[in-house]
């Protein structure tokens, strides 16, 4: 029986606790991050707290292994005296929506093989796929996620903005958006790239620029250049 | 029985012919765009030819109604002597892949109610949803589609680029990408926006900038500014 303390009651802590508690092989207890418990009796403490709080909260925890769940925080910012690790679920969570952990990749890091195996065991309980990712890689992965998620979503926002301004329902574009992301399940996005920038269709690019304000034109040109550069 | 001529043997012509030919209410014949036929015996001729060829090809066609299938071309660039219209399928096509037209929104335009109804009938045969969109709206919609499809796909390309450079498999990001587009099925993308730019997390933004080259930094900043502006 593996004893697991989950510290933090935010989105990540909430869903991890919900899911890990289902396993017969784990004994899971959730704590508020402000509780003064040193958690000495636990094999692992998972700190699902805000990035800024990781160092401070970790100082007082005596579990054999302490891991944080942050995409941007170095493993060495953990200040506990025993083993350290990372258990980073790369997905967007909201409390209202149930999480299917089989669609949540887990990026794990630890200082030794035994701890990595323990993190992999937890991953298996969640039915998640685990990836060994060190702190340096994880920083870049988090940046890549901003492009893949936040920035792509903003492209949808700008598309919606254009639709709204011209009284066209945004839903007309939704099947195209779904097709775009379906394509890259099997094809590299660089290879899936289409459109005026990819085929060097300068006439269409100029027609588009005429429809945009100065601010949007700069963004359009910047991305068009980037497509020409990276394919 | 409605008689339909499809002019053009590219992707759009190929798939339209395949699908419309299944209907018992339509009599469909496909022509090469270089054939010299005036197509006088057809209720409708659908020009699935390249944008540049629309005016030239339309000149010689005598069908009661001639429509083009282009997102960027004004209805008035049709040079036939009878009625004009547009039948624009807003989706990305490739010849290798079968098209499910129930996921292909059709943007239609015509000069009178009767012609619009005919285009709606064709839409129904395809099981597509039809939207009445005039030439001015269609131009903007095509621009919006570039943001929603081409530009979002490029964000995936940049994410993949970062992953490759740091020896992290891009597939780690795929569930997040699927979740991003699933979210906007029910939520406006402006409301679904998350990430450092949306929450004004300047520290993370600066950490990210340090990981990018000058060229990527400019793009990152431009999109970050745009998120702050448009939400």
Averaged confidence pLDDT in chain A: 95
Give the per-residue pLDDT at A11: 92
Higher pLDDT, B34 or B213: B213
Asked whether the predicted pLDDT for residue B220 surpasses 90, the reply is yes
| Contacting residues of A for B92, CB less than 8 Å apart | 176, 179-180, 183, 194
Return all residues near B24 (Cβ < 8 A) that are at least 6 apart.
none
Q: Whose CA is closest to B151, among A206, A180, A183, A91?
A: A180
Instruction: Classify residue A203 as exposed, middle or buried by CB count within 10 Å of its CB (0-12, 13-18, 19+).
Output: exposed
Nearest to A148 among B148, B176, B204 (CB): B176
Chain B residue with minimal CA distance to A178?
A: B181
Query: DSSP secondary structure string, B78-140?
Result: ---SSEEEEEEE-S---TTS---GGG--EEEEESSHHHHHHHHHHHHHTT--EEE--HHHHHH
The stretch B49-70 carries a mean pLDDT of 95
Averaged confidence pLDDT in chain B: 95
Reported pTM = 0.93
Asked whether the predicted pLDDT for residue B216 surpasses 80, the reply is yes
Chain A residue with minimal CA distance to B199?
A: A150
Name the DSSP class of A51: G
CA–CA gap between residue B81 and residue B65 (Å, rounded): 9
Q: Looking at CA atoms only, how far is residue A230 from chain B in angstroms?
A: 8
Contact at CB, A143 and B162, closer than 8 angstroms: yes
Site from A98, A134, A150 to mutate, B interface, most B CB atoms within 10 angstroms: A150
Nearest to A173 among B145, B155, B223 (CB): B145
CA–CA gap between residue A149 and residue B155 (Å, rounded): 8
Kindly give the parts of chain A with pLDDT less than 50. none
| Contacting residues of A for B131, CB less than 8 Å apart | 168-169, 172
Asked whether the predicted pLDDT for residue B36 surpasses 80, the reply is no
CA–CA gap between residue A56 and residue A24 (Å, rounded): 32
Pick left, alpha or beta for residue A50 (phi over 0 → left; psi -120 to 50 → alpha; otherwise beta).
beta
Contact at CB, A159 and B148, closer than 8 angstroms: yes
CA–CA gap between residue B143 and residue A71 (Å, rounded): 34
Nearest to B141 among A150, A156, A163 (CB): A163
Going by pLDDT thresholds of 50, 70 and 90, the confidence category of residue B185 is: very high
Query: Does B205 reach chain A within 8 Å, measured CB to CB?
Result: no
Asked whether the predicted pLDDT for residue B159 surpasses 80, the reply is yes
Q: Looking at CA atoms only, how far is residue B40 from chain A in angstroms?
A: 33
CA–CA gap between residue B228 and residue B231 (Å, rounded): 5
- Axis crossing angle, helix B135-145 with helix A152-165, rounded to the nearest 10: 170
CA–CA gap between residue B87 and residue B94 (Å, rounded): 18
Q: Are strands B65-68 and B44-47 parallel, antiparallel or unpaired?
A: parallel
Give the per-residue pLDDT at A93: 82
Helix, strand, coil in percent for chain B, rounding step 5: 50, 15, 35
For the record, the structure tokens of B17 come out as: 């012919």
| Residue B164, SS3 per DSSP | helix
Name the DSSP class of B46: E
Could you give the ipTM of this predicted complex? 0.94
* pLDDT digit string, tens, across residues A16-26: 999 999 999 99
Asked whether the predicted pLDDT for residue B207 surpasses 80, the reply is yes
Give the per-residue pLDDT at A50: 93
Nearest to B193 among A154, A161, A183 (CB): A154
CA–CA gap between residue B227 and residue B193 (Å, rounded): 8
For the record, the structure tokens of A143 come out as: 């940046």
Contact at CB, A155 and B155, closer than 8 angstroms: yes
Give the per-residue pLDDT at A37: 82
Query: Does B228 reach chain A within 8 Å, measured CB to CB?
Result: no
| Contacting residues of B for A90, CB less than 8 Å apart | 172-173, 175-176
The stretch B18-35 carries a mean pLDDT of 94
Contact at CB, A178 and B173, closer than 8 angstroms: no
Q: Contact B108/B86 with Cβ under 8 angstroms?
A: yes
Query: Does B167 reach chain A within 8 Å, measured CB to CB?
Result: yes
Q: Contact A155/A177 with Cβ under 8 angstroms?
A: no
Give the per-residue pLDDT at B37: 82
Chain B residue with minimal CA distance to A209?
A: B143
Interface of A with B in 65-104 (CB under 8 A): 72, 90-92, 103-104
Give the per-residue pLDDT at A205: 96
* pLDDT digit string, tens, across residues A109-129: 999 999 999 999 999 999 999
Q: Whose CA is closest to A218, among B221, B201, B208?
A: B221
Return all residues near B174 (Cβ < 8 A) that are at least 6 apart.
A184, A185
Interface of A with B in 33-52 (CB under 8 A): none
Higher pLDDT, B37 or A200: A200
Q: Contact B48/B6 with Cβ under 8 angstroms?
A: yes
Q: Which DSSP helix (H) or strand (E) runs through A138?
A: helix A135-145
The stretch B16-36 carries a mean pLDDT of 93
Q: Looking at CA atoms only, how far is residue A174 from chain B in angstroms?
A: 7
Backbone angles phi, psi at B149, to 5 degrees: -110, -65
* pLDDT digit string, tens, across residues A198-215: 999 999 999 999 999 999
CA–CA gap between residue B22 and residue B8 (Å, rounded): 18
The stretch B189-213 carries a mean pLDDT of 95
Going by pLDDT thresholds of 50, 70 and 90, the confidence category of residue B93 is: confident
Give the per-residue pLDDT at B98: 87
CA–CA gap between residue A120 and residue A105 (Å, rounded): 12
Q: Contact B73/B12 with Cβ under 8 angstroms?
A: no
Nearest to A133 among B168, B189, B194 (CB): B168
């Amino acid at each position: 029986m593996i004893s697991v303390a989950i510290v933090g009651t935010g989105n990540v802590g909430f869903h991890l606790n919900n899911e890990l508690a289902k396993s017969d092989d784990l004994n899971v207890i959730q704590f508020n991050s402000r509780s003064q418990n040193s958690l000495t009796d636990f094999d692992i403490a998972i700190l699902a707290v805000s990035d800024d709080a990781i160092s401070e909260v970790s100082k007082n925890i005596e579990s054999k292994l302490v891991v944080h769940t942050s995409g941007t925080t170095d493993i060495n910012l953990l200040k506990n005296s025993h083993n350290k690790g990372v258990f980073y679920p790369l997905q967007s969570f909201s409390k209202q929506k149930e999480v299917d952990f089989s669609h949540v990749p887990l990026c794990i890091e630890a200082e030794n093989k035994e701890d990595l195996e323990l993190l992999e065991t937890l991953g298996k309980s969640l039915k998640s796929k685990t990836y060994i990712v060190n702190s340096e890689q994880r920083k870049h992965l988090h940046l890549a996620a901003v492009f893949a998620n936040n920035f792509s979503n903003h492209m949808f926002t700008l598309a919606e903005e254009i639709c709204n301004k011209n009284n066209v329902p945004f839903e007309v574009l939704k099947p195209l958006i779904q097709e775009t992301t379906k394509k890259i399940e099997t094809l590299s996005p660089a290879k899936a790239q289409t459109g005026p920038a990819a085929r060097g269709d300068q006439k269409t690019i100029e027609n588009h620029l005429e429809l945009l304000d100065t601010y949007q034109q700069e963004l359009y040109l910047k991305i068009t250049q980037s497509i020409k550069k990276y394919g």
